[in-house]
Every structure is written in structure tokens, then in C-alpha cells.
Structure 1
Amino acid sequence: MTEKRFDGRVAVITGAGRGLGRAYAELLASKGAKVVVNDNGAALAGTGSDAGPAREVVQAIKAAGGEAVACTESVTTREGGQAIVDAAMDSFGRIDVLIHNAGNSLFAPLGEISYEDFRNSLDIHLLGGFHVVQPAFRHMLKANYGRIVLTGSIGGLYTMPNTVQYAVSKSGLIGLSNAVSIEGAEHNIRSNIILPGAVTRMGEGIDTTGFPPMGPEMVAPVVGWLAHEDCDVSGELYISVAGRVARAYFAESEGIYLPDWTIDAVAENIDAIRKGGPQWILPQQTGFADHLARSFEMTKKG
């Protein structure tokens, strides 16, 4: 089997100073990619800054024979996102891969979380994604090529207590990835989401003593595949946790059709609505139109 490499490719990775992002940066660099290591060195809550982590990763990549530059701009603003992408263009003249991994971590009940903490999380995870995706996407359109990997979370699908800001941010990234996938399809631009599970500083406060081995390096190969030119999927979600790799997706029940609904009719048919018939698993690229077409078809049968 031929080794998957990134020779001649340029990758921008946000949140690459530690944990998962660092594992991605070092893996792609070891396979020939030129890497922009973006990290402003913020604390877990997203506050403060420290240029040290990004510079340390760049030094490690160079020591291993790779090419990399550090960028300490923040993803939380449009200007910061543009500057991160500009770092790739200024240093290497192109951007082929964007991996948005930057994030923060905090826990607060829904009824008590401050608006500032809620918004701060959205600014880093969700709006941060848009801030780097849009300028990168523009360059990728001109080049007729691009690979984008956004970092979602099982917490964006199923959620946990005291993480409303995280759940909203991570679920919102699914829509962003879908938009990139649809609008970029004819330009050989693909976008997917990684749902990683790894023991990093982001898990601070969680008892991991009973966990199996699940370091960041176990997730990195999945991200490497999604970022590679041979990746032939787009608009999908991939789980990687403790050696398990799986695809996550949304589905619809078959449902039932009535020409006239009442509240009582919904109550009487709720079991059939929820569980009846086969599951519709619609591909993201045509899912919206397929959803309408299948729904309208039921009116003819009724």
C-alpha cells in the first residue's frame, strides 16, 4: 500500500499548540505538509494568551525535519481568522488543508451560565470555525481544491449536563461543514467533522482513571485521512475514540401521512411517528431535496 503523504500541501491547524491539534500538526508535517501551527495559548476557559505552545510545536516539527510556522492570532474575531489564513499564504503561498481544532472548556448549569461564558465558547468553537473557514474557502475556490476538517463532539450530538455552550457550538459546526461540502463540491473542496475522544487537558475535572488508552495520537490518523487529497467523502461525521472509528449520521423514521392532523391524532399516532417503518438515512449532499421528495411522495400514497 502506498503511503499517504502531503508533499507540496499546506495545512493550517487551529488549536495546534497542545493535545489533539499538536498531534495533527506533527502527523501531517511528518508526511510532508507545511504547517501553520495556530494557537494563542489561552487557558482552558479561553482567557489569556501565551505564544509558547505554538512555538514549541514548530520547533519540534523543524527538529524532526519538517516545515512549520507559528501563528498566535485568535480565532475569536474575523480579523484573527483572516490573519491565520494569511499566515499560510504569506509563508507558503497557498492553503490546501484547514483543520479547526481550537476550543475551550468550562462547565456550568444552563440556568446559571453567564452570557459572557456562553458567548466566549461560541466565539472560539463555532464563530471561530466560520472566521477561518470563510477566508480559507475563498482561496480554495480559486485553487479548485481544498480539504476542511472541523472539530465537533459527541457532546454536540448527545450533550452532557452543564455544557450548553459546548453543545450549541459543536452542533452548529455541523451546519457549517454541510454548507462547505455543498458549495465546494464542484470545486473539489471537501469538508467533514471529526468527533474525537482523547485524554487531554480539555478533560480536566473528569475522572479518567478507568479509561482505556486514548491519547491524541490515536485520533490523528482519522483526521489525516479526512485531510488527504484521496479522501472521497464529504459532509460526514466521523467518531474516533480509544481505537474505535465509526461514522455518525442523522436519520428519519418513515413517518405516516394524514391529510388533516389534530392534536389528538398526533397523540394517537406518536408511536408510529417515532418508530414506524425503515429509517431514512439521507446523504448530506442531496438530503434536503430527498427529504422533500420522499415526504411529498407520501401524500400521493395517502
Structure 2
Amino acid sequence: MQNTNFRGELNQDGRSLEKRAGEDVPEKIIAVLLFCCALVSVLTTFGIVFIIFRVTFQFFQKVSLAQFFLDTQWTPLFAEKHFGIWPLINGTLLTTTIAMFVAIPLGLSAAIYLSEYASSKVSRILRPAVELLAGVPTVVFGYFALLFVTPMLRNFFPLEVFNALSAGLMTGIMVMPTIGSISLDALQSVPLSLREGAYAMGVTKLEVITRIIFPAALSGIAASIILGISRAVGETMIVVIAAGQQPRLSINPFQTVETMTAYMAQISGGDSPRGSLNYNTLYAVGAVLFLLTLTLNVISHWIANRYKEKY
């Protein structure tokens, strides 16, 4: 009798193991498919990086690093060629700085209002409206800057038709939802107990925001700002349309400038033959842009981990 029960238990355990093994097969297939999807993104990134730096190496076989980093003129398409990258970096940083003066105050103000002041009903309406800006095509922002913002500002400032100010302002409006959305998530992740404890001590709402909530969410806010800067640095259509294509080493926002992305768009749509020196400048500028945005993303990741509060 006992042997019969023992054999029955063995048979039941065997069927259970076979059932679990059968159930594991679809899960293993799904795991393999997900791994392949992740592998595609990784291989694509490595492929892009490999191509960029391979062609960049060919470029630096003809142009020295001193010419690239010490010259102050960028005229690779002229008869007298100069390959100084600084005018393009200057245009990129100038438009990005203007954009951040717009995006950071507006984005943080919107995040603080939606997190601490707005009712749930108002928040459900305003947050999608703010994030809707992220869905507007950047070419629309560019033509809005050229055809509306620039003519309006020319009534007050001596702007050129293409200028860094209009491009920077519209880039800031474009980046604002990124900073606002991520900052809002960071503010809302602060535990409610911190707010309640502060209010129980008689602290005002403004003091709670500035001295408790804001410092606790600092890592997320700082990361959102740096990610916003990365997006502004990599913006193309707005600066192509509104900022112009004249590389200039100047901090005057009323003048025409050219950014790194604008130059890359100019070359990629031009008549420079593949493999020529002019064509290779596209990859050299792209490598500098890649390293710049990579540095910003690494700093963002470091800040998020360094100052992250764990509750």
C-alpha cells in the first residue's frame, strides 16, 4: 500500500515537472526575443559610433588637430579652407544658453505649480496640455520663430533676419516640457510624510517647497535640466530655419550663427561627394557633438545617482 502511494506521488511529481517544463518553453522564447530586441539597439549604437569615428579618423589624416581645435574660422566649403570648430561650438552653446534661460524657469515653475498648488482636476487638464508641446514637430517651431518671433522682436531689437535669439527662445519652448515633466515626477516622488511633518511644525508652503521638497527632489531636477540641455544641443530644424548658416565666433544673440547640427544638415543635403574632405567634416562635427551629448548624459546619470535620496 505504501509502495503504491509512493509510486503515485512520483508520477504526480513527474507530471508536475513536465507541466512546468512545458510552461517554461514560452517564457524562454519570450526571454530570447526580448534579448534580441535589446541586442539590436546595442549593436545599432555601436555601429553608429564605429562609422562616425572611422570616418572622423580619415578626416584627421588630412586635417590636423591643431587646425581643428585652434583655428577660429570654419570655412570648409570656401576656396580658402579653414577647419576651426569653435564657431560651430559657439553657435551651439549660444542658442542652448538662451534656450535654458527660457526652459528652466518655465519648466520648474510649471512642475512646482502642478505638484504643490494645482488641484487634481486642474492638474489632469494642464499636464497633458504642457506635454503636448513635446509632440509639436520642431520644423513648426522653426518657422514660427522665423515668421512670427523674429518680426516681433525686430520691433525692439536690431535683429538680423536669421539670429540666435529667436532660435534659442523657440528651442527653450520646445525643451520646456522635458524639464517640466521629469521635474514634476521628481517632486511628486517626495514622500507625503515630509510635507505633513513640515506643516505640523508651522512651516509655510513656500518654505516647504524651497527647503524640503526641492532639495529632496534635486537629483531628478538636475537630471531633467541636463537632459534638456542635451536635447537643446542636438536640436536641428529650429536652428537650421531660424538661426541661419553663417559660422561666427560671437556671443551677440542678434546675429546670424550656425550650430553643429545646422552644419551637418547643410552638408548632408548638399553636393559634397561621398568620401571627399568636405563630406568627412560631417562626421568630424558629428563626433564632437556625440562626445558633447555623451558627456552631458554621463553627468546627468552621475548627479542622479550621487544625490538620489532613498526613503
Which range, TM-score by smaller chain? under 0.3
Higher fraction of helix: 2
Normalising by structure 1, what TM-score?
A: 0.23
Higher fraction of strand: 1
